[in-house]
Amino acid sequence: MLQMKGITKNYPSVIANDKISFDVKIGEIHALLGENGAGKSTLMNVLYGLQNLDNGEIFINGQQIHISSPKVAADAGIGMVHQHFMLVENMTALENVMLGLHQAKPPLLDIKGTREKFNSIVEKYGLVVDPDLPVWQLSVGEQQWLEIIKLLFRDVKLLILDEPTAVLTPAEAHQLFTTLRFLISEGRSIVFITHKLDEVQEIADRITVLRDGKLVGTLNKEEASSFQLSTMMVGRSVTLERRPRPIITEKSPVVVIEDLQCKNERGLTALKSINLTMYSGEILGVAGVDGNGQRELAECITGLHLPTHGKINILGKLVSKVVDDSSLLGFIPEDRHRTGLILDFTVYENLVMRTYKDPPFDWHGKTNWGKVKTFAKELIKRYDIRTPTEIVLVNTLSGGNQQKVVVARETNGQPSVVIASQPTRGLDLGAIETLHELLIKERNRGAAVMFISTELSEVMALSDRIIVMFNGEIMGEMDGENANVLHVGEMMMGHRIEN
Amino acid sequence: MLVGAFTGVAIALITKNFALAVIGAIVAGGLLSLIFAYLAVSRRGDQMVTGFGVNLLATGLTLVLLPYLNAIRTRTVLFPVIDAGFLKDIPLLGPMIFDQSIGVWMALILTPMSMWVLYKTTWGLSLRAVGENSKAVATAGLSVIKLRYIGVLLGGLFAGLGGAFLALNNIGFFVANMTQSRGFIVLAALVVGKWNPLYFGIACILFGAADALQLRAQAFGSVLPYQVYLMLPYLLTIAALAGLVGRTQAPKEYAKPYDPTQA
Give residue-wise pLDDT tens across range A313-353.
999 899 989 888 888 999 999 888 888 999 899 999 999 99
- Closest chain B C-alpha to A425 CA, distance in angstroms: 24
pLDDT in tens, B174-210: 888 888 878 888 888 888 888 888 889 998 888 888 8
Q: Is there a domain that residue A243 lies in? A: no
Same domain, A308 and A437: yes
Integer angstrom CA distances of residue B21 from A485, B3, B25, B161 = 85, 12, 6, 10
The answer as to whether A497 is a domain residue is no
* A247 Cβ neighbours under 8 A, 6+ residues apart: none
**Window from A175-179, A436-440, B81-85 with minimum mean pLDDT:** B81-85
Position A245 in a domain: no
Asked if A423 and A342 sit in the same domain, the reply is yes
Contacts of A109 in chain B (CB under 8 A): 120-122, 125
Q: How many domains does chain A have?
A: 2
- Phi first, then psi: give them for residue A423, nearest 5 degrees: -70, -15
Q: Whole-angstrom Cα distance, residue A111 to residue B122?
A: 10
With CB atoms and an 8 Å threshold, state whether A99 touches B137. yes
The ipTM assigned to this model is 0.82
pLDDT, position B151 = 93
A135 and A226 co-located in one domain: yes
Are residues A188 and A111 part of one domain? yes
For residue A180, give the nearest of A402, A27, A386, A312 by alpha carbon.
A27
Identify how many contiguous H helices and E strands chain B contains and give both numbers. 11, 0
Same domain, A364 and A325: yes
> Are A263 and A204 contained in the same domain?
no
Which CATH number does the domain housing residue A153 bear?
Answer: 3.40.50.300
Burial class (CB in 10 A: 0-12, 13-18, 19+), A56: middle
- Decide if A2 contacts A56 (C-beta within 8 A): no
Residue B263 confidence (pLDDT) above 50: no
Q: Examine residue A246 and state whether it is found in any structural domain, yes or no.
A: no
Q: What is the pLDDT of residue A248?
A: 84
Is B174 or B237 the better-scoring residue by pLDDT?
B174
pLDDT of residue A234 exceeding 70: no
Q: Is the model's pLDDT at B59 over the cut of 60?
A: yes
Judging by beta carbons within 10 Å of its beta carbon (0-12, 13-18, 19+), is residue B200 exposed, middle or buried? buried
Q: Would you tell me how many other CB atoms lie within 10 Å of the CB of residue B181?
A: 11
Task: Say whether A70 and B251 touch across the interface (CB within 8 A).
Answer: no
Residue-level pLDDT at A181: 94
Query: Which residue range is the domain that position A422 belongs to?
Result: 253-492
| Residue A262, beta-bridge partner list | A271
Judgement on whether residues A137 and A281 belong to the same structural domain of the protein:
no
Question: CB neighbours (10 Å) of residue A105?
Answer: 9
Q: Do the Cβ atoms of A51 and B263 come within 8 Å?
A: yes
Helix B197-220 and helix B182-192: axis angle, to 10°?
130
Residues A230 and A257 in one domain: no
Mean pLDDT within A244-268: 87
Conformational region of residue A283, where left means phi above 0, alpha means psi within -120 to 50, and beta covers everything else = beta
Kindly report, residue by residue over A143-164, the tens digit of the pLDDT: 999 999 999 999 999 999 988 8
A72/A159 same-domain check: yes
- Rounded to the nearest 10 degrees, the angle between the axes of helix B122-130 and helix B102-120 is 80
Domain spans in chain B, listed from the N-terminal domain onward: 1-180, 181-246
Best B119, B133, B134 residue to mutate vs chain A (most A CBs within 10 Å)? B133
Is there a single domain that holds both residue A229 and residue A261?
Answer: no
pLDDT tens figures, A270-308 = 899 999 999 999 999 998 877 788 999 999 999 999 999
Check whether the bond before B233 is cis (ω within 30° of 0): no
Q: Is residue A377 part of a domain?
A: yes
A306 and A454 housed in the same domain: yes
Residue contacts between A and B (CB atoms, under 8 Å): 70
The whole-angstrom separation of Cα A129 and Cα A145 is 7
A111 contact residues in B (CB cutoff 8 A): 120
Interval A384-411 mean pLDDT: 90
- Note whether A99 contacts B138, CB cutoff 8 Å: no
Taking CA–CA distances from B132, the nearest residue in chain A reads A88
SS3 A269: strand
d(CA A377, CA A346): 12
Residues of B in contact with A88 (CB under 8 A): 128-129, 132-133, 136, 252
Q: Give chain A positions within 8 Å (CB) of B251.
A: 90
Closest chain B residue to the Cα of A111, Cα to Cα: B120
